[in-house]
Amino acid sequence: MKNRLSVKPWILGLAVVGLIAGSLLISGYIGFVDSNLFCSISTAGPPAITGYSPAEIQLQSIIHYATAKIVPQQSLDEIRISFDVLKVRCPCNFLIFGLGHDSLMWASLNPHGTTVFLEEDPKWIQTVIKDAPMLRAYHVQYRTQLQEADQLLSTYRSEPSCSPTKAFLKDNKKCKLALHNLPEEIYEKEWDLIMIDAPRGYFAEAPGRMAAIFSAAVMARNRKGSGVTDVFLHDVDRKVERTFAQEFLCKNKYYVNGVGRLWHFKIPPAANMSKADRTSNRYC
């Protein structure tokens, strides 16, 4: 997530600035005021990050992308898919796998909401947070390697704690695909949007995104609140991302749209699924 650059970074950087600045204008931003600049103006609530108002986060984001030489690795068309959902759903709970050059942008587009990043590299967290201390990021340790993907896909059904009717995450050590040791906050909240753009998945010993995709599916299916979970998966040009998305995110059922290397799913909670889907031993 953090190492890829766009072909024409200055164009994308300008576009990102326009996207964020446009969100301020859309919400009726006038002057330097501490109000909800992007979501409904009537929405009330404390700032998502202690010590920083939504206005400060958005303004810093604009300045950052206007002056940065490194810009988000997603294309503008890919960013717009998530942006359009955020326009409707924010303030919301937004969970993002990966901390990168686009993180400040995502946080600024969800004012008064909760935006949390899960990152595999603790040193990279320190690097990013040094320049953007308002971001909330946690270090995650994965139990998988990309080279295990085929085996995990072919054997997970033999473990009951991986099955769609029984799967859970917290302390689920038996199911290797379950992210069992995340910070308590991740388990306590119900996530309205989940972006999967990490961990690394381009060499054999990398963690791969198998566990992130599986865990996102479990979070969505176990949702108790109303509404669906919007899940965004990046790098679908790669085999593992495509295969695990089809197995757990259900491309044939819950795929909404996509562009470039991004797919967008709307996954309902199990309670809202048909009885056949709810009791099936398959996710899709």
Q: Structural domain boundaries of the chain?
A: 75-279
pLDDT value of position 65? 67
Residue 4 · residue 198 · CB < 8 Å: no
**149-183: string of b/e by CB count within 10 Å (b at 16+)?**
beebbeebeebebbbbeebebeebeebbbbbbebe
Residue 71 · residue 6 · CB < 8 Å: yes
In CATH, the number for domain 75-279 is 3.40.50.150
**CA dist., res. 236 & res. 241, Å (int):** 5
pLDDT value of position 257? 97
Q: What is the mean pLDDT of the chain?
A: 85
Residue 95 · residue 191 · CB < 8 Å: yes
Nearest to 95 by CA among 172, 192, 20, 212: 192
Q: What is the pLDDT of residues 215-255, one digit of tens each?
A: 999 999 999 988 999 999 999 999 999 999 999 999 999 99
53: Cα separation from own chain's centroid: 22
pLDDT value of position 41? 39
pLDDT value of position 26? 44
Nearest to 97 by CA among 250, 215, 269, 223: 215
Instruction: Give the relative orientation of helices 54-67 and 9-26 as an angle to the nearest 10 degrees.
Output: 160
pLDDT value of position 25? 47
pLDDT value of position 44? 41
User: What residues contact 178, with CB distance under 8 A and at least 6 apart?
Assistant: 161, 162, 167, 168, 169, 172, 211, 214, 215, 218
pLDDT value of position 47? 47
pLDDT value of position 22? 54
Query: Which residues of the chain carry a pLDDT beneath 50?
Result: 3-7, 24-37, 40-47
pLDDT value of position 62? 72
- The SS3 call for residue 182 is coil
* Bridge pairing between strands 262-267 and 229-234: antiparallel
User: What residues contact 169, with CB distance under 8 A and at least 6 apart?
Assistant: 178, 179, 180, 182, 187, 215, 218, 219
